[in-house]
Amino acid sequence: MTDTLAAHEGSYLEYEGRHKGILGWVLSTDHKRIGLLYLSAIMVFFFVAMTLGVMMRLEMLTPGETIMKPQTYNSIFTLHGVIMVFLFIIPAIPAVFGNFIMPIQIGAKDVAFPRLNLFSWYLYMTGATLAIISLFTGGGAADTGWTFYVPYSIRSAQNVSFTTLAAFVLGFSTIVTGLNFIVTIHRMRAPGMTWFRMPLFAWGLYATSWIQVLATPVIGITLFLIILERLLGVGVFDPALGGDPILYQHMFWIYSHPAVYIMILPAMGVVSEILPTFARKDIFGYKQIAISSLGIALIGYLVWGHHMFVSGMSDTARIVFSLLTFLVAIPTGVKIFNWVATLYKGSIKFSAPLYYVLAFIFIFSIGGLTGLVLGALATDIHVTDTYFVVAHFHYVMFGGMGIMFFATMHFWFPKMFGKMYNEKIAVIACTIIIVGFNILYFPMFIMGYMGMPRRYYDYLPHLQGWHILSTVGSWILVAGIVFMFGNLLYALLKGPKAARNPWGGTTLEWRVSSPPTVENFDEIPVVTGGPYVHDKPTYIMQPSKELVHENGDKLKGETLKAH
Amino acid sequence: MNPVVEVVDNSFIFIVAISVLLLVGITIAMIYFVFRYSEKNNPKPDQSITGNTTLEVVWTVIPLLLVMAMFFYGYIGFRDIRNIPPDAMVVKVTGRMWVWSFEYENKKKSDTLLYLPVGRNVKFELSSADVVHSFYVPAFRVKEDCVPNRTNYMWFHTSQEGTYDVFCAEYCGMNHSYMLGKVIVITEKEFLEWVRVPDTLKTDTLKTTTTSVVAPMTGEVKADTSKTAGDKKDTIKTNTKDTLLRRENK
């Protein structure tokens, strides 16, 4: 555990392998470099989609035309949704931090299939390229909403086929990454790392990966059928040809509801990393948190119908889906209670990543609790397809996954780049983000209950006050986000060198140098205890030299050989 | 008071009240812990706390009971929303890009403006001529999708005279946000006079909100078809079975 362990090789950032320069990146099978490849692409798409969101809010500043025509507005909200969902929210935490951190956390030198890993990045880029091409070819950008509901998506003259093809290809990227993670977690854990000694981030990714592998094929085939409907008129969904639009909605949500948990489970995993780190104590209810991830993944499969409470689905189905929807709230609640309890009797070091997590718990709780209004049948019928839903899913998606993406960046930034950022600025930026976020999205709950439908280019004048408030919120939020990323960018270029373990973390990634070496570990470590034990070491970093190092669990040489 | 509106609003208040309690509890606990157990106030963390089975059971069972109560409340309201009173009059609603059309039991048709008599239960048979729409009347807290090749239904009680907004709540293309209408609740007498008048669709169709793409919404529909209500020409023979004419039996 001494610093002399540091790498006989250089950092992964400087490593020169078979290929040099840019090729050394785009042909690298190193999970850390692939993580950064994803990061750079994902950041670009995040800023594009954020800009689209700001334009939508700007349009809503006044009733009638403010800066664009209805057709443009419809394409913009479609693109905002498609890019945010498929190119940012779904891949961001698993593909960037799952790739970078998870193998180190479980004591592996890489993922199980490094080449497949690189391939999935190329699939991602291919999907992204198709999405971009779709903007400038055919009838122009798709205008169906990210849900591609039929028959509108079949009738639309816009370039819907290309956009769905993009989502289809992106689905493969997700499946391949999920598969890779499942095998990695099953097969590549370091000796002594039992399932219940595994960091909770890895648990979150594990649950997510199963959803990715099992649910993504459904959306793949569904979107592909849309393309077939448009090109060949096969009539699976088109009522004019004897198809069933409700069937489409079922198939779409069979994937897209579990996808919500693909988005949030890795983020929840990071919450479970950050809290014990800064509370300086073990996490409260490790097993409950780990198992609740699987519980969410499992029940999350069975609740898709709550998106269709007014679609004309049978009343019985509506009642059953409502009941199941309420059940999925339980494991989520268990997580939140355990997180808060982790702070109890800790010795809390207040820092930027922790602050983002506290913001997450507050905002995500609002998102989760308003989900109850949508889960209850009587109230859902009134507020579904209104701004209430828009507010709700921005609180859970942006407030949940988005804010946690920011928290994750701040938590692992020193590890990934070996640089430290200005924490004060990070905290100020987070405060601006919290304020802007709530001014932007909270009025939407109110407008929703007042009956403002979503995806509306225009609105009745009595709502203008709320719309103005919301738009002003978007400006504050964007200012906070730009400020935050500016701070990180500055640190990347000019920040002071980060220590190996700046936060006092207990998981394996904090035992390797910052930034990690190419192969992460000189020797595969041996794990002797849980991931968040603060008062004694639970890893033997160089088992072969174990006797000369501090010996956490009083392990004998013979015991070690047994591993 | 409209019973459905009441039950929806009460469920909403019930869920929000519990949610606010939970949110405040979680937030206060979180903030209190961060200060009370800060590095400064509590230099030595208590490493012995790693979980508590009793607490886990408590915060699994209590929320479970709470959400089951919410489910039940929502279900009760839903039953009211879906169970159509047998005396309801029927109006066919057809959504098409981007106009609402209504057809009464005597085949009278109307676009955009839905005239209804006060104090009646009205069942809507919903369908679509093209893509999926959703017939949404916020004042009555109900909506239901209009799906082509299929008839969905919903109902509400017209408890008070007045004019209420109708929206399309399921995205349906370019002029989705202009697919508006009005529910105009008038007295039974006025209604009967209006509905007996032959199909005046061509003349009383109001396109103020649908013809002009970029026209800002005014929030009101200008034309007034009730001027035809005074017209005594009654060429449609009133069907004796017409539920429109049935008296409400309470």
Q: Name the domain count of chain B.
A: 2
Smallest Cα distance from A276 to chain B, Å:
10
Tell me, yes or no, whether B20 lies in a domain.
yes
Q: How many CB atoms lie within 10 A of CB B189?
A: 10
B68 chain-A contacts, CB cut-off 8 A: 326
Task: Tell me the three state secondary structure of residue A527.
Answer: strand
- Structural domain span for residue B138: 89-217
Judging contacts by C-beta atoms under 8 Å, the chain A residues touching residue B176 are 70, 74, 455-457
Inspect the interface and report whether the beta carbons of B145 and A312 lie closer than 8 Å: yes
Q: Look at B214 and A459 and tell me if their CB atoms are within 8 Å.
A: no
Contact B176 A329 (CB under 8 A): no
Sheet arrangement for strand B152-157: B109-111, B99-103, B89-96, B121-128, B152-157
Can you tell me the distance from the alpha carbon of A376 to that of A491, in angstroms, rounded to the nearest whole number?
47
Report the CATH number at residue B35.
Answer: 1.10.287.90
Q: Which of A490, A486, A346 is nearest to A428 (CA)?
A: A486
CB contact under 8 A, B144 and A310: yes
- B70 with A149: Cβ contact below 8 A: no
CA nearest to B14 within chain A: A373
The whole-angstrom separation of Cα B26 and Cα B160 is 42
Q: How far is CA B90 from CA A142, B132, B140, in A?
A: 38, 21, 17
Q: pLDDT tens digit string along B74-115?
A: 999 999 999 999 999 999 999 999 999 999 999 999 999 999
Say which DSSP state A517 is in.
B
Q: Tell me, which fold does domain A3-562 have in CATH? A: Cytochrome C Oxidase; Chain A (1.20.210)
* Average confidence (pLDDT) over A163-176: 93
Whether residues A333 and B63 touch (CB distance < 8 A) is answered with yes
CB contact under 8 A, A155 and B131: yes
Reply yes or no on whether the pLDDT at A7 is more than 90.
no
Confidence (pLDDT) at B207: 41
How many helices (H) and strands (E) chain A has is answered by 19, 2
Give yes or no: residues B152 and B183 share one domain: yes
The dihedral formed by the CA atoms of B198, B204, B205 and B208, expressed in degrees to the nearest 10: -170
Does the pLDDT value for residue B236 go beyond 80? Answer: no
- Count of A–B CB contacts within 8 Å? 288
B202 and B98 co-located in one domain: yes
Query: Which of the residue ranges A72-76, B98-102, B127-131, B219-223 would you say has the lowest mean pLDDT?
Result: B219-223
The CATH number given to whatever domain includes residue B185 is 2.60.40.420
pLDDT confidence band for A20 (50 / 70 / 90) = confident
The encoded tokens of residue A69 equal 């025509």
Residue B234 is assigned to a structural domain of this protein:
no
B180 domain-assigned: yes
Q: Which of B82, B100, B128 is the last residue of a domain?
A: B82
Evaluate if residue A554 carries a pLDDT over 60. Answer: no
The pLDDT assigned to B3 comes to 86
Are A155 and B131 in contact, with CB atoms under 8 Å apart?
Answer: yes
| Chain A residue closest in CA terms to B171 | A455
Q: Kindly state whether residues B77 and B99 are assigned to the same domain.
A: no
Residue A96 pLDDT = 96
Shared-domain flag, residues B73 and B132: no
Chain B residues closer than 8 Å to A275 by CB? none
**Assigned domain for B154 exists:** yes
All residues at 6 or more sequence positions from B38 whose CB lies less than 8 Å from its CB, including other chains:
A347, A348, A350
Boundary of a domain, candidates B26, B55, B82: B82
Task: State the complex-level ipTM.
Answer: 0.90
In chain A, the residue whose alpha carbon lies closest to the alpha carbon of B34 is: A348
pLDDT given for residue B201 in this prediction: 53
Q: Is residue B245 part of a domain?
A: no
In this prediction, residue B246 has a pLDDT band, given cuts at 50, 70 and 90, of very low
Give the span between the Cα atoms of A311 and B143, in whole angstroms: 9
Residue B93 and residue B142 share a domain: yes
Q: Residue B211 has what pLDDT?
A: 35
At residue B238, does pLDDT exceed 70?
no
| C-alpha span between A81 and A477 (Å, rounded) | 18
Closest residue of chain A to B35, computed from CA coordinates: A348
Nearest residue in chain B measured CA to CA from A72: B174
B154 and B72 within one domain: no
pLDDT at B220 over 90: no
Q: Per the CB < 8 Å rule, is A343 touching B33?
A: yes
Indicate if the pLDDT at residue B123 is higher than 90.
Answer: yes
Q: Is residue B242 part of a domain?
A: no
Residues B94 and B174 both lie in one domain: yes
Give the three-class secondary structure for B124: strand
Give A292's contacts in chain B (Cβ within 8 Å): none
Question: Would you say residue B250 lies in a domain?
Answer: no
Give the minimum alpha-carbon distance from A480 to chain B in angstroms, rounded to a whole number.
22
CA distance A363 to chain B (A): 10
Contact list in A for residue B152 (CB cut-off 8 A) is 312
Neighbouring C-alpha atoms within 13 Å toward the C-beta of A441? 24
B132 and A149 in contact by Cβ < 8 A?
yes
Would you say residue A546 has pLDDT above 70? Answer: no
Residues B10 and B65 in one domain: yes
Mean pLDDT (chain B) is 83
The per-residue pLDDT for range B43-67, each reduced to its tens digit, is: 999 999 999 999 999 999 999 999 9
Q: Which residue has the higher pLDDT, B234 or A517?
A: A517
Q: Are residues B95 and B208 in the same domain?
A: yes
Could you report the per-residue pLDDT of A338-378, keeping only the tens digit for each? 999 999 999 999 999 999 999 999 999 999 999 999 999 99
The tens digit of pLDDT for each residue in A409-448 reads: 999 999 999 999 999 999 999 999 999 999 999 999 999 9
B17 and B128 inside one domain = no
**C-alpha distance across the termini of chain B, in Å:** 16
Q: Tell me the nearest-neighbour CA distance from B55 into chain A, angstroms.
A: 9
Query: Within this chain, do residues B78 and B94 fall inside the same structural domain, yes or no?
Result: no
- pLDDT, chain A, mean: 92
pLDDT digits (tens, 9 = 90+) for A76-113: 999 999 999 999 999 999 999 999 999 999 999 999 99
Q: Smallest CA–CA separation between A282 and chain B, in Å? A: 6
Best to test chain B binding among A382, A385, A506 (most B CBs inside 10 Å): A382
- pLDDT (0 to 100) of residue B137: 96
Phi/psi region, residue B8 (left: phi>0; alpha: psi -120 to 50; beta: rest), is: alpha
Q: H/E element holding B1?
A: none
Mean pLDDT of A532-551: 77
Contact A349 B152 (CB under 8 A): no
Question: Which chain A residues touch B165 with a CB distance below 8 Å?
Answer: 451, 460
Same domain, B150 and B213: yes
Which residues from chain A sit within 8 angstroms of residue B7, using beta carbons? 378
Residue B162's H or E segment, with its range, is strand B162-168
* Band of residue A543 on the pLDDT scale cut at 50, 70, 90: confident
Contacts of B178 in chain A (CB under 8 A): 458
Confidence category of residue A545, pLDDT binned at 50, 70, 90: confident
What per-residue confidence (pLDDT) applies to B200?
A: 56
